Structure 1
């Protein structure tokens, strides 16, 4: 948790004020039993009502001041804690935003969500308690012990004997409970993972009547978390009864020996009453510390998980001497003997890949499932770095460019059309924030989306629900294509982006794209032969290796793999 303290730096003055106010509050509370003792010893015993009223009124003022100190300290400590949480969440969001796909694969989406929300909330709550207790508890314990000794040093030995017993009890209970609290965060991850998969895959769950299976998975994860929480809280539940038992036995002992001290004239009644209150203050301060022991292990585990994310250096970073991609129009792409393996994979996803994609031409990539088509596009956009070989854009290795300038040259339409909550035009403008209304409409027309947008009651202002669930698959794909077109990049990348389109829309879109893309490079990954037949260059992949390069006519003559793909999709008349 100490590594997170720098996030508190903007609140240094506010923290100092809180600590001062807690210090003054503690002094006020330590002073009250002494005032009460004076009322008993000098007011009640002597029958001096004026003295009782004077000291009683002063006690009310001290109590009111203590209340004011407490309210102001609580207000500022809450602001500090909330501000701390905001800063850490912002830093986490920025850090995750810079991760490559490798880091996402390592942590998992569900875990990253838990770390950014639940884990930070745990640490935030403990910081709030620490600001209140880091001064209050030691002050009340040490100050109470000093004041108790000032009232009667002999009777104070009772407190000295009880404190080790109380501390040992807290230690033994906390030691048993700490491992459970540490494991709870991982179980929350598991619960979030199951819940997220169920919600995002609801259509599949219902289509296959697997609601019962998903409920069982969720119940198992929930029960696992619940059982761990119950075991932890059962152990910690024993702490308070033990504390109260020790406190009550201590009170009885103090009253017993205090009565003997009063009977022998070594102590006054008021001093015994004050002594008893100081003993309770000491006990309560130790209980406050025990509460910290309950929360600290879980917050500490949460802090470790937060720091794991914050300390992770992305695999893909801009080198110190990175040069921005050339501003001139280009888009000349070269793959030179590229080999890449996913972490933990037994064999490379792609091996020895070499080809060119030239401006003004359409380069298509086709192959069976798992042949490495999408992997090549990920390497081009530098979502991953090559294991060997190089990917160059306009003669510069992508690893020597800044990621921002490289991706500014690329208009990517991913395999799965991802849309965001907002309106249709906001989603299209995601590709170019300052795009004019005319540019948005032009992109929609080329993407064959204008017709269905016009059918919407509010047109381009039509709201899109989360994930675009109020649109069909083909509509989402066309909006994703429009988003790339409005960017007007040097390289257009379509990752199987026409799969949800009917053949007529597919043909119209490809014809419009040919006119719109102009001198840019166009790289298309597709499953349909009809989509790639007219490409200037077709790259055939088979199990991560190139099985042929050429246009449709050349590949029909030279590539058995391509002929097999064509014959599986087209009738003999179409092939001829």
Structure 2
């Protein structure tokens, strides 16, 4: 049987001992859900999570370098544009002024005449203008400049388009690897992790948080690269044109950084709260959806709706506050940018009037000033996206950092001959460190024996077989298979030798034939039908319109509960395991079907070591050994007749069931 089948089945098993071990923790969680409260969140490591997120891009260094090179080229051409365009402004200005001056005169004579008349301001202005008295606008030269500017912007846009495509590929590949890492992480996580986490919370991290992370990276990575390069390029050009105006423009940067930092610091906790609440709301919805029949039966719909409203209101509050607070960054940056624009315009005009700058230079500088404030504003406005993405990234990283099961041994041991001899040697185990469950348990099961395990709920019956499957690691002692410690074996190899039929039948979306064949490799349709016939599945499959090709949904609603159980029995039959585990395998079937399954089980158990967990004692009379467990210990063992006449725990359990059956008959 495959490891995935066994793991899925074990997750589906609702055992008393596991519920006992986690009851307090689940009650605390349920209390938080019912009150709409939020568990305390640790402060987010923004810098550390951002650095770790950027490491995801490391395998694509070439693409990242391409993004930087193309971004630099695109920004450089865009930044050069205003400086070139300034030449067109100067040509037009010179033509307008030159047309009003007497033809044949020189610029020097005109300037000297203006100074002689006391018009020094106009004289200073003309000294910075390359004009010819009597000549108008040179439209040919202006056209050449405009065509050059157009070419610069077209090439810059082309580079930007390629950069955007590279960025998309870069981000999607990084997210693809992240999803792959999470899928591989699931295979390494112990069953204990899934027992302690609401399924909706785990699903939210794998779906919502990763989608939000991808969107944030996609929208911010390319824009941040372009914005940073634009700021640097524009800053250089501003200092080339006028160091004084550049220093004035830079005076607003500290104010912008201060405002963005203050607003971002207030928004960050709200983003953490928003995504944490989203996870809890998803967990509640998932629980209510999968258990909607019970919710209706027990009349808990109103209470469920109340919990949903409280969680939804909390999500609305957190989302509104996060978006509103972070959304104030952009208007604040625009206000500071407008102040910078006014200062540059006023002082620039004075510099033109004094002859220190040409009109084209001032026009170019004003463009650079807007280009300088715009990327700063964009970076600030993207802070909400970045913070939201980092909040999601940290939740995903928390999943990736969860404690894994013990690694497989470098050189796994394996029995020379697998016969099915199982030994428990002074085994101790506890789900919680302060609550012992199994203490100093020893047991030897010979090959081919059928061992029945009975006892009250929470006694440790299912835990015993979970330890044999290494779904949990023992705290003391050891478990052996044909003399080899299973802790030294490869888990997948160990589980391939084991078949399980659980109380809660697990089926996946697919055909009945696919579900039967799930536990074996390279099986034919004839083998599937043979297994189905042996386990009495064939008798009802033949009545279905599509037979073995009937599609089952993931809930198995196409067939009855008893028929689902029969399909899982057929699956175990086809896998032909060395060790067979039956955990209340007949609990969901009627009496007649139970008789049929018991016959199939007798055939299936032949020559195999079998562990049968049962509450219905009438089903395990023919077991070779019956173990009676209480509080994690074996209090009695023997065959049915011996234990029945001993007057001990087994006898009391049997008498209680007999009395209950008689009461039901009456």
TM-score normalised over the length of structure 1:
0.95
Could you tell me how far apart the structure 2 residues matched to 1:471 and 1:73 are? Answer: 54
Rate the CA distance shift 1:233–1:6 in 2: closer, same or farther, 3 A.
closer
Matched, 1:266 2:356: yes
| Aligned equivalent of 2:562 | 474
| Aligned equivalent of 1:432 | 520
Could you tell me how far apart the structure 2 residues matched to 1:11 and 1:129 are? Answer: 18
Matched, 1:235 2:325: yes
CA-atom RMSD, angstroms?
Answer: 2.0
Task: Choose which of 194, 199, 224 in structure 2 pairs with 1:104.
Answer: 194
| Aligned equivalent of 1:323 | 413
Rate the CA distance shift 1:484–1:7 in 2: closer, same or farther, 3 A.
farther
8 Å CA contact retained: 1:542, 1:561: no
Task: Choose which of 481, 485, 497 in structure 1 pairs with 2:585.
Answer: 497
User: Relative CO higher for 1 or 2, CA cutoff 8 Å, sep ≥ 6?
Assistant: 2
| Aligned equivalent of 2:249 | 159
Task: Choose which of 347, 352, 356 in structure 1 pairs with 2:440.
Answer: 352
Could you tell me how far apart the structure 2 residues matched to 1:357 and 1:521 are? Answer: 8
| Aligned equivalent of 2:378 | 288
Counterpart secondary structure, 1:538: strand
Matched, 1:515 2:606: no
Rate the CA distance shift 1:572–1:220 in 2: closer, same or farther, 3 A.
closer
Counterpart secondary structure, 2:447: coil
Q: Which runs of 5+ in 1 are unaligned?
A: none
| Aligned equivalent of 1:337 | 426
8 Å CA contact retained: 1:493, 1:524: yes
8 Å CA contact retained: 2:238, 2:246: yes
8 Å CA contact retained: 2:637, 2:643: yes
| Aligned equivalent of 2:468 | 380
1:37 positional shift:
0.9
1:134 positional shift:
4.3
Could you tell me how far apart the structure 1 residues matched to 2:363 and 2:299 are? Answer: 70
| Aligned equivalent of 1:19 | 68
Q: Which runs of 5+ in 2 are unaligned?
A: 1-49, 96-136
Matched, 1:177 2:267: yes
- Out of 289-298 and 186-195, give the one that drifted further: 289-298
8 Å CA contact retained: 1:19, 1:131: no
- Out of 78-87 and 313-322, give the one that drifted further: 313-322
Count of matched residue pairs: 572
Counterpart secondary structure, 1:369: coil
Counterpart secondary structure, 2:508: coil
Could you tell me how far apart the structure 1 residues matched to 2:369 and 2:54 are? Answer: 34
- Out of 100-109 and 51-60, give the one that drifted further: 100-109
| Aligned equivalent of 2:12 | none
Rate the CA distance shift 1:155–1:251 in 2: closer, same or farther, 3 A.
same
1:331 positional shift:
1.2
Could you tell me how far apart the structure 2 residues matched to 1:535 and 1:216 are? Answer: 50
| Aligned equivalent of 2:477 | 389
Specify the structure having the higher radius of gyration (Cα): 2
| Aligned equivalent of 2:18 | none
Rate the CA distance shift 1:324–1:298 in 2: closer, same or farther, 3 A.
farther
| Aligned equivalent of 1:213 | 303
1:313 positional shift:
4.2
8 Å CA contact retained: 2:420, 2:448: no
- Out of 125-134 and 70-79, give the one that drifted further: 125-134
Task: Choose which of 34, 37, 43 in structure 1 pairs with 2:86.
Answer: 37
8 Å CA contact retained: 2:418, 2:482: no
Counterpart secondary structure, 2:335: helix
Counterpart secondary structure, 2:228: helix
Rate the CA distance shift 1:347–1:166 in 2: closer, same or farther, 3 A.
closer
TM-score normalised over the length of structure 2:
0.82
Rate the CA distance shift 1:267–1:552 in 2: closer, same or farther, 3 A.
same
Could you tell me how far apart the structure 1 residues matched to 2:229 and 2:358 are? Answer: 26
1:11 positional shift:
2.4
8 Å CA contact retained: 1:357, 1:523: no
Counterpart secondary structure, 2:577: coil
1:476 positional shift:
1.4
| Aligned equivalent of 2:31 | none
